[in-house]
C-alpha cells in the first residue's frame, strides 16, 4: 500500500511527515482487522475460537480506523497546508473508483460470513479467500504468471515464518509450563494488595516497550504463555484481553527506537528521514490511546459482536 499511497500523496503536495506517518500507522490495522495472522497464531497458541477472535477484533479495528481518519481531518482543518485540496471530482467518477473496493468487501464477506455460517473451517476459509482473490485478479486482467509466482513465493515465505514461530512458541510454552513460572507469576500478581487495573497497566507498558523493540507477532508469541495465565488469574475475559494486547503491541510497532513499520516506510521512501516519519506517527498516538481506553472502559466494544452472533 505504501508504494501506491506515498507517490500519490507526494503528487498532491501533502506534508511528508503526515503522509509517511499515516502509511506507517495504517499498516498496523492489518494486525487487528481480520483476517489477522497475529490473531490466528494467538488462537492456535491459546486454544481460543478463531472466529470469536475475528469477530471481537472487527469493532476495535473500525474504531481505530475512524480515530485515524478523525486525526487526519482535524490536523488538515487546523493546518490546511498539511493536506492541500486536490482537484474536484465528479460523483460519477467517485462511484466508478469504488469498484475495486466493492470486490474486496465481497471477498471479506465471503471469508468471515462463511466462517460464521459454518460453511468453512478456518483453513478452508483461507483457501476460499485465496481462490476468490485469484478469480478477481484473473477477471480484472490484473494477474499475470509472474505475479502469480510472486504471490505463491510470498505466501510460502509468510507461512514458513508463522509455522516456525508457532513451533518455537509451543516449545517455549511447554518449558514455561514445566517450570510453572507463568502460574507462579499469576498467583503472585493476583495476591498483590493493589487494584487489578494497576497490574494490567504494567502489562500494557511491557507490551508497548516490547513492540518498540521486536516484531509485533514475534513479541506476542513469546509473551502470551507468560501473561495469559496472569490475565485469567485477574479475571479478564481471554478474548477481550487478546484483542487489547494486539492493539497495544501494534502501537509499539510505530514508536521509537525500533518501530518496525517506520523503517519499512523509510525503505519505501528513502528521501524521507526516519525522524520525520516518527514525527508523523506521533500525530496518531492519541488515537491509539483513545481506542485502548475505550476498549478498557467499554468492554462491549470487543465482546458484543461475538456474543451477539455466537452465544
Q: Is the pLDDT of residue 215 over 70?
A: no
pLDDT value for 18:
92
**Residue 245's closest CA among 276, 221, 262?**
221
Query: Which three three-digit cell numbers place residue 7?
Result: 507517490
pLDDT value for 173:
62
Note the pTM of the prediction, 2 decimals: 0.76
Condensed to tens digits (0 to 9), the pLDDT of residues 62-93 reads 999 999 999 999 999 999 988 888 778 888 87
Percentage above 70 pLDDT, the chain: 89
Q: Is the pLDDT of residue 286 over 80?
A: yes
Q: What distance separates the 2 farthest-apart alpha carbons in the chain?
A: 65
The alpha carbon dihedral of 43, 110, 117, 239 has a sign of positive
**Residue 200's closest CA among 244, 264, 258, 149?**
244
Q: Is the pLDDT of residue 50 over 70?
A: yes
Higher pLDDT, 252 or 299: 299
- Give CA–CA dist 9/198, Å, rounded: 42
Q: How far from chain centre, in Å, is Cα 75? A: 23
Averaged confidence pLDDT in the chain: 83
Higher pLDDT, 282 or 220: 282
Condensed to tens digits (0 to 9), the pLDDT of residues 116-163 reads 777 887 778 878 888 888 888 888 777 788 878 888 888 788 778 667
Q: Is the pLDDT of residue 221 over 80?
A: no
Condensed to tens digits (0 to 9), the pLDDT of residues 247-285 reads 888 887 788 877 778 888 888 788 889 899 999 999 999
pLDDT value for 21:
92
- Give CA–CA dist 45/153, Å, rounded: 26
pLDDT value for 166:
63
pLDDT band at 216 (very low <50, low <70, confident <90, very high): low
Question: What DSSP designation does 178 have?
Answer: H
Condensed to tens digits (0 to 9), the pLDDT of residues 167-213 reads 776 676 667 667 776 667 666 766 777 787 888 888 888 877 776 76
- Give CA–CA dist 108/301, Å, rounded: 21
Amino acid at each position: 500500500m505504501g508504494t501506491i499511497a506515498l507517490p500519490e500523496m507526494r503528487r498532491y503536495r501533502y506534508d511528508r511527515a503526515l503522509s509517511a506517518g499515516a502509511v506507517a500507522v495504517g499498516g498496523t490495522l492489518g494486525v487487528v482487522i481480520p483476517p489477522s495472522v497475529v490473531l490466528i497464531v494467538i488462537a492456535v497458541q491459546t486454544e481460543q475460537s478463531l472466529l470469536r477472535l475475528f469477530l471481537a477484533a472487527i469493532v476495535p479495528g473500525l474504531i481505530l480506523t475512524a480515530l485515524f481518519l478523525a486525526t487526519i481531518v482535524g490536523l488538515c482543518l487546523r493546518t490546511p497546508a498539511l493536506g492541500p485540496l486536490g482537484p474536484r471530482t465528479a460523483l460519477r467518477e467517485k462511484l466508478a473508483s469504488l469498484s475495486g473496493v466493492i470486490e474486496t468487501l465481497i471477498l471479506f464477506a465471503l471469508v468471515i460470513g462463511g466462517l460464521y455460517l459454518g460453511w468453512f473451517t478456518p483453513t478452508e476459509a483461507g483457501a476460499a479467500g485465496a481462490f476468490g482473490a485469484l478469480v478477481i485478479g484473473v477477471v480484472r486482467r490484473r494477474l499475470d504468471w509472474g505475479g502469480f509466482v510472486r504471490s505463491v513465493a510470498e505466501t510460502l515465505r509468510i507461512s514458513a515464518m508463522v509455522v516456525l514461530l508457532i513451533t518455537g512458541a509451543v516449545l517455549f510454552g511447554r518449558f514455561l509450563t514445566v517450570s510453572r513460572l507463568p502460574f507462579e507469576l499469576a498467583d503472585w500478581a493476583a495476591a498483590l494488595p493493589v487494584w487489578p487495573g494497576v497490574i494490567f497497566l504494567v502489562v500494557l507498558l511491557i507490551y508497548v516497550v516490547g513492540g518498540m523493540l521486536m516484531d509485533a507477532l514475534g513479541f506476542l508469541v513469546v509473551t502470551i504463555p507468560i501473561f495469559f495465565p496472569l490475565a485469567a488469574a485477574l479475571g479478564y475475559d481471554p478474548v477481550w484481553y487478546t484483542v487489547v494486547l494486539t492493539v497495544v503491541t501494534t502501537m509499539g510497532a510505530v514508536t521509537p527506537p525500533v518501530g518496525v513499520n517506520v523503517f519499512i516506510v523509510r525503505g519505501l521512501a528513502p528521501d524521507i528521514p526516519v525522524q520525520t516519519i516518527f514525527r508523523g506517527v506521533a500525530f496518531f498516538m492519541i488515537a491509539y490511546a483513545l481506542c485502548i481506553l475505550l476498549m478498557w472502559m467499554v468492554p462491549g466494544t470487543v465482546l458484543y459482536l461475538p456474543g451477539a452472533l455466537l452465544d
